[in-house]
Amino acid sequence: MSLWHVAWNYLWNRKLTTAMTIISVALGVALISAVLTLREQTQKRFEEEGQAFDLVIGAKGNPLQLVLSTVYFLDAPTGNMSRADFEEIAKLEDVEAAFPLGMGDTFKGYRIVGTDRALMDFAWGDRRPYELEEGRYFEEAREAVIGAAVARDTGLRVGSSFISTHGFVDMPGAHQHEDKPYTVVGVMRRSGTPNDRAIFCNMESVWDAHDHGDAEEEAEHEHEHGEECNHDHGHGGVRADITAALVKLASPALRFEYKDKINRQYNAMAAIPVNEIQKLYEQLLGTAKAVLLAIGYLVVVISSMSILIGLYMSILQRRRDLAVMRALGATRGEIFGAVLIEAFWVTVLGIGVGWLLGAVVCYGLGVYLVAKLGFHVSAVALGPDLVTAYSAVLLMGLVAGILPAWQAYRTDIARDLAEL
C-alpha cells in the first residue's frame, strides 16, 4: 500500500469536503482554461484566415475596420476606392493576384460580396475556401453562390431566388432591391471560415443593384432611404469604384514594402490582415484577457486557501491517526509526504474537472462563434499557455499543502496518543 493510496483513502473518507474543495479549484481552472483556450483558438483562427491574403486595400480610414469588413465580413467597409487604382495595383510587379470586392447589400443579415469569378478558384496551402458543395459558380449578373451557413439558416438552395436588402444590418423598413432578385446557382462546401456566412456574386451584380445612373438619381436614392440606410454610400454603386481589394503578393516578406508603397502613392489604404489582428489581440483583447485571467487566478488562490484550511482542519482531527502511524514506524517524511499528496490529489482532480468544465464552456462559446464568425475553434486544445497555467495551479495547491503537512510532520506521538 503506497502513500498515494493512504492519502486517497483519507480524502475519500471525507468525500463532501474533498468534493467541495475540488469544485472550488475546478471553477478557477475552468475560467482560466476557457479564457486561454478561446483566446488562443480564436487568435489562431483569425490569423489563419488573415494569412490567406497578404494585403487588403480599401478607402482610407481605420485599417482594422478595413480588415474586419473585407476578410471576416464583420464590420462596415471604410468606403470606396477607385477601380482605376485597383487595376493599376493589380499590375504591380510582385502582385500575384488581386481580387476586387464590392459590398453594400445583405440578405437576412448575410453579406453579399461582389467579386471576380477568379476568386472562387483561390486556394492557399491545401485549403480551398471557396469549394462548391453543389451547383456551379456565378457567371452572369445576379447569380449567387452562397456559403454553407447561409444555405443552412435561410433554406436557400440551388435554383432559389432572393431579394437583397440595402445596408449591412437587417432591420425592418430597410430598402429592398425587389426589381433585381438574385438566383442561387451554387452552394459552397462548409469551410469553417467567414465564407460560410457570405453570398458571392460578380461585381456587375453589385453595381447593378446600386446603379442609379447619375448624380440626381444618387441624390434621390439618398432621399428615399433616409436614415434607415445605415451604410455609408461608399458602396460599389458607381462602376468606377470598388469597396476593397484582396491582394496576394509573391512573398509575405513584401507585405510591409507594398503596404507603404500603396499608402504613399495611391488614394487608398493598404493593411496587412494578420498584423491588424495581432494588434487587436495585443491591445484591446489583451487587456480583457488579463482581467479575466486575474479573476481566474484569484479564484485559484482562494481555492488554494480552502485546500489549506480543509487539510489543516483534517490534520487537527486526525492527530491520533498520525501518531498511530508514527508509532507503527512511519517516518516524519512519510507523514509529511502523505499530507502533501492529499493536496496534490485535490489540485490535480480540480484541474481535471476544471479542464472539463472549461472545455464545455469553450464548446458552448464555439457554437456561438461558428454562428457569428463562421470559425470552428477546438474546445480541448492544450496550448503552452494552458500547460503553464495548470502548472502554476498545481504549484499553488502544493504550496497550500505545505503548512498542514508541516503540522503533521511535527506530530508528537506520545502527547497525541495520550491527549486524544
Partner 1 sequence: MVTMEGVRRTLGPGVVFQCDAFHAAPGERVALWGPSGCGKSTMLNLVSGLLRPHGGVVRVDGVDITGLSGSRLDAFRGERYGFIFQTFNLLSPFTSLQNVVLGMRFADVVPEKEWKTRATAMLERVRLGHRLHSRPGTLSVGERQRVAIARALVNRPKLIVADEPTGSLDPKTAESVMALLLELCAEEGVTLLLVTHDRAVAERLPRMHDCTDLVKETVS
Instruction: Point out which residues bind partner 1 (CB under 8 A).
Output: 1, 6, 9-10, 12-13, 320-321, 324-332, 334, 413-414, 417-418
CB of 327 to partner 1, least distance (A): 5
In angstroms, the CA 230 to CA 234 distance is 12
CB of 350 to partner 1, least distance (A): 21
CB of 408 to partner 1, least distance (A): 14
Residue 374 φ/ψ region, left for φ over 0, alpha for ψ in the -120 to 50 degree band, beta for the rest? left
CB of 306 to partner 1, least distance (A): 21
Cβ closer to partner 1: 45 or 326?
326
Cβ closer to partner 1: 265 or 331?
331
CB of 14 to partner 1, least distance (A): 9
Nearest CA-CA partner of 280 in 34, 99, 72: 72
Cβ closer to partner 1: 270 or 323?
323
Cβ closer to partner 1: 327 or 392?
327
CA angle 304, 297, 383 (to 5 degrees): 115
| CB contact set of 182 (below 8 Å; sequence gap of 6+) | 107, 112, 142, 143, 144, 161, 162, 163, 164, 199, 201, 205
DSSP state of 206: H
DSSP-derived secondary structure for 164-181: -EESSS--TT--B-TTS-
Nearest CA-CA partner of 113 in 62, 56, 159, 61: 56
Cβ closer to partner 1: 149 or 343?
343
Cβ closer to partner 1: 128 or 320?
320
CB of 315 to partner 1, least distance (A): 14
Number of helices and strands in the chain (H, E): 14, 13
CB of 345 to partner 1, least distance (A): 13
User: Which residues, listed in sequence order, are joined to residue 176 by a DSSP beta bridge?
Assistant: 165
Cβ closer to partner 1: 249 or 343?
343
User: Sign of the C-alpha dihedral, residues 397, 398, 403, 409?
Assistant: positive
